[in-house]
Amino acid sequence: MNGKVAFAVAFSLLAAFPMAALAQPQVLPQPRPVQPGEPQPVANAPALPPPLPSGPLPWSDKSLTADARADLVQAYMTRDEELTLVRGYFGVNYPWLPKGYSEAIRKALPGSAGYIPGIPRLGIPALSESDASLGVANGRHMRPGDQAVALPSSLLTAATWNGSLAYAGGAMIGAEARYKGFNVMLAGGVDLAREPRGGRTFEYAGEDPLLAGVTAGEAIRGIQDMHIISTIKHFALNDQETGRTTMSANIPDAAARESDLLAFEIAIEHGDPGAVMCSYNRINTVYACENDYLLNKVLKGDWGYKGFVLSDWGAVHSTVDAANNGLDQESSYSHDQEDYFGEALGQAVAAGTVPQVRLQDMVHRILRTMFAKGLIDQPVVKKPIDAKTDLDVAQRDAEEGIVLLKNAQDLLPITFLKRPSRRITIIGGYADLGVLSGSGSSQVIPIGDTQALEVLAGGAVQMGSDQKPQIPSGTLILDPPSPYATIRAQAPWARAVFYDGSEIAKATALARVSDVVIVFAQQWTSEGWDVPDLSLPGNQDELIAAVADANPRTIVVLENGGPVLMPWLNKVGAVLEAWYPGNRGANAIARILFGDVNPSGRLPITFPQNESQLPRPVIPGHYLAYSRIALEGAHSPFDIDYVEGANVGYKWFKAKKLTPLFPFGFGLSYTDFEFGGLSATGGATLNVSFDMRNIGKREGKATAQVYATPPGGVARLIGWSKVDLKPGETRRVTLAVDPRLLASFDTDAHLWRVAEGEYAVTLGESSAEVSAGASVHITASTIKP
């Protein structure tokens, strides 16, 4: 791919962003009070470096708190050093970078997202940033030849409903980042899947604040246990790509607190990320990276967040407003329209429009986080990654996050074929090359023999050849190994053939003479654009329908970024939702198809029957999306009213009494479970106990989900339990419910309010299935935000 050109285009578009001219209420943050025994912060940083004391640096004392150590460093910092820490460089040494990238800086750039020089005099290391959530990213081959283990998409990890797998994946990619010399991972995507056509839905953890918060939070915790910083992103309501730099997500405060912000709040509690990345978009007309309400009031005020806020690449629009309203670090000034936190910030501090205590607070937050997360005491040291062990982590994740959506007459697992010369025909989806991954800044160049395919505008690759303009051009990466190889290894007794599916007649002829057909279908999605609709691109729907007509023993394996429509569902025998399954995805698919693994994934997102069921049947602004220029740059600001409010995904379907194609929480197993014995005790808090029993013939993992409906409200997920059960085994489980999940946010009183009344509690296998129900009286209470 022509990475240089792509980046030059992206850069020129980013540089063309209109400036924000929005009035801001200015509430300035107060400096942190000095604690007993701590040095006084400097009133004004000196221009010349104060001489350092002889002996060990005072802040090397590990017994001090991170805050005290940061204060000690700050007492020795010059104004220039302070300004150094709050402004970053793009991390790849491209020739088109603007002036200001000195030779020394160019040499130091890590070949990834971003770089903030350190202060060697004070023993403060540079921040070397890599993208992130799915592995150490290397899209556009920024580090030629450097491979990393590609995790499955975050949406797949959410589909595991297993926080320990999210943690393990985080720890794995955190270790790889460390070994490759990075001490910051731009990970932790947790925007709710409010727009199922969203180009980055695959980078996020679904539509429910509890499930998404736990999944993202655990991944962040894993990363940071490797003594590096993880971000959480994109704060906030960056729920679609169309017009992502200009749109305003308009939503009442209470609805935001109960949905997207709650996902961030829960993830921050679980993972304690060192940094928060503010997003491109505006929220209620104010840009996220200069949004006093979001950054100062909610994040740093209500949630008491002590880390730092860094901007998305090109998301800064001002110096004074951004600094005073809560941005602590401009990530890549060359992506912004101006160098806002360079000289301009120094001048603003000198003029007093940005108080110097505010600059010191910015610096303090960055330094205290570096101490708190181990960047100073355990500096990164490059060494080779342990790919074999890391690939196993990716495989375990994939094996639990792939969802079995249909299995007519127990077509799966494929055991009936275990006789020589049985014919398995594998059709489409580049199944001879690898499994699909999502594109954009999160792109990992996986371990093994990667296939990179150019996609023409309109999506005219092997996915189909119709003329409908669908997607911009780009490069699609297929993660090895190929399903064709793993299926052949899994079923050496069979005659497995692959056909690319380009001619429907040929595919049906092959299907007719096969014992079983496995069609691989793909939906490619990417950062930067949303898919126009939920149909599989090209002629894949026709291909699947025709093949299934020819042979009902047709299994469809989906590799997709988010929900898709399935007009052929009644014709096919089985459907396996494999998402973007990562570097061992093909192994996981084969092991599930042939029964070595019992599928246990559950949908973290609703699959609609069609787009008319969505709050916005057409994505606002999407008419321009075929042109990336219109999408990214020249798109005039526009508003989207999030009419669904807090009722994202399944809550919308419940509120509107709509029946989806597949409900949130749904997924089948090769065994059967029974949930019962529900007891719910109310009063001031809600506790729920129930039995989970395997009533089938083989071992499997059950996921019992508990939903509560407050008086006059809509059902919401309040907890779940995933347990491995042997045939006949029963497990009793008790869950204590976080009262915020029962509450509404009262904006006037500025607190969460649990209403007094009868709450319906249901236990089930999904958001639509009810195995048992109870009604429980909950007394009124309030919770501070």
Question: What minimum distance in Å lies between the beta carbon of 231 and ligand BGC?
Answer: 8
Structure tokens at 131: 């993208």
Nearer to ligand BGC (CB atom), residue 464 or residue 633: 633
Rounded CA gap, 394 and 149, in Å? 8
8 Å CB contact between 406 and 572: yes
Nearer to ligand BGC (CB atom), residue 81 or residue 191: 191
Question: What minimum distance in Å lies between the beta carbon of 542 and ligand BGC?
Answer: 35
Angle value at C-alpha 170, between 127 and 439, nearest 5 degrees:
80
Question: What minimum distance in Å lies between the beta carbon of 642 and ligand BGC?
Answer: 20
Binding pattern for the stretch 230-259 against ligand BGC, x by CB under 6 A and - elsewhere: ---x--------------------------
Kindly give, in sequence order, each residue whose CB lies less than 8 Å from that of residue 58, ignoring residues fewer than 6 positions away: 72
Nearer to ligand BGC (CB atom), residue 182 or residue 666: 182
Binding pattern for the stretch 423-452 against ligand BGC, x by CB under 6 A and - elsewhere: ------------------x-----------
CA distances in angstroms from 120 to 61, 77, 124, 376, 393, listed in the order given: 18, 12, 6, 12, 36
Question: What minimum distance in Å lies between the beta carbon of 629 and ligand BGC?
Answer: 16
Spatial CA neighbour of 586 closest among 493, 484, 702, 455 = 484
Question: What minimum distance in Å lies between the beta carbon of 131 and ligand BGC?
Answer: 5
Nearer to ligand BGC (CB atom), residue 69 or residue 87: 87
Nearer to ligand BGC (CB atom), residue 154 or residue 744: 154
Question: What minimum distance in Å lies between the beta carbon of 7 and ligand BGC?
Answer: 11
Question: What minimum distance in Å lies between the beta carbon of 310 and ligand BGC?
Answer: 9
Provide the 3-class DSSP secondary structure of residue 694: strand
Rounded CA gap, 300 and 293, in Å? 10
Binding pattern for the stretch 76-115 against ligand BGC, x by CB under 6 A and - elsewhere: -------------------------------------x--
Question: What minimum distance in Å lies between the beta carbon of 529 and ligand BGC?
Answer: 13
Q: What is the 3-state secondary structure (H, E, C) of 586-609?
A: HHHHHHHHCCCCCCCCCCCCCECC
Question: What minimum distance in Å lies between the beta carbon of 495 and ligand BGC?
Answer: 45
Nearer to ligand BGC (CB atom), residue 188 or residue 446: 188
Nearer to ligand BGC (CB atom), residue 131 or residue 336: 131
Torsion of CA 225, 229, 230, 232, to 10 degrees: 130
The amino acid sitting at 522 is: Q
Nearer to ligand BGC (CB atom), residue 233 or residue 553: 233
Residue carrying structure tokens 């192994």: 587
Give the Cβ contact number of residue 415 at 10 Å: 9
Question: What minimum distance in Å lies between the beta carbon of 190 and ligand BGC?
Answer: 12
308-367: contacts with ligand BGC (CB under 6 A): 312-313
Residues in the chain: 785
Nearer to ligand BGC (CB atom), residue 224 or residue 441: 441
525-564: contacts with ligand BGC (CB under 6 A): none
Binding pattern for the stretch 388-417 against ligand BGC, x by CB under 6 A and - elsewhere: ------------------------------
Q: Quick one: which of 38, 67, 131, 321 contacts ligand BGC (CB under 6 A)?
A: 131
Question: What minimum distance in Å lies between the beta carbon of 233 and ligand BGC?
Answer: 6
Nearer to ligand BGC (CB atom), residue 113 or residue 261: 113
Nearer to ligand BGC (CB atom), residue 203 or residue 321: 203
Nearer to ligand BGC (CB atom), residue 525 or residue 587: 525
8 Å CB contact between 324 and 28: yes
Rounded CA gap, 774 and 178, in Å? 49
Question: What minimum distance in Å lies between the beta carbon of 187 and ligand BGC?
Answer: 9
Question: What minimum distance in Å lies between the beta carbon of 203 and ligand BGC?
Answer: 8
CA distances in angstroms from 234 to 87, 161, 203, 699, listed in the order given: 19, 22, 11, 39
290-319: contacts with ligand BGC (CB under 6 A): 312-313
* Binding status of residue 17 toward ligand BGC by CB under 6 A: no
The rounded radius of gyration (Å) of the Cα atoms in the chain is: 26
8 Å CB contact between 404 and 667: yes
Torsion of CA 344, 345, 350, 352, to 10 degrees: 110
Question: What minimum distance in Å lies between the beta carbon of 186 and ligand BGC?
Answer: 4
Rounded CA gap, 176 and 151, in Å? 12
Q: What is the 3-state secondary structure (H, E, C) of 5-24?
A: HHHHHHHHHHHCCCCCCCCC
8 Å CB contact between 717 and 208: yes
Nearer to ligand BGC (CB atom), residue 233 or residue 368: 233
Rounded CA gap, 159 and 602, in Å? 5
Residue carrying structure tokens 């110096």: 319
Segments of 638-684 assigned E as strands: 638-641, 673-681
Nearer to ligand BGC (CB atom), residue 163 or residue 440: 440
Question: What minimum distance in Å lies between the beta carbon of 641 and ligand BGC?
Answer: 23
Rounded CA gap, 637 and 22, in Å? 12
Q: Quick one: which of 68, 85, 142, 186 contacts ligand BGC (CB under 6 A)?
A: 186
Residue 603 class from Cβ within 10 Å (0-12 exposed, 13-18 middle, 19+ buried)? Answer: buried
Nearer to ligand BGC (CB atom), residue 215 or residue 526: 526
Number of residues that bind ligand BGC (CB under 6 A): 7
Rounded CA gap, 707 and 772, in Å? 11
8 Å CB contact between 70 and 364: yes
Residues within the interface to ligand BGC (CB under 6 A): 113, 131, 186, 233, 312-313, 441
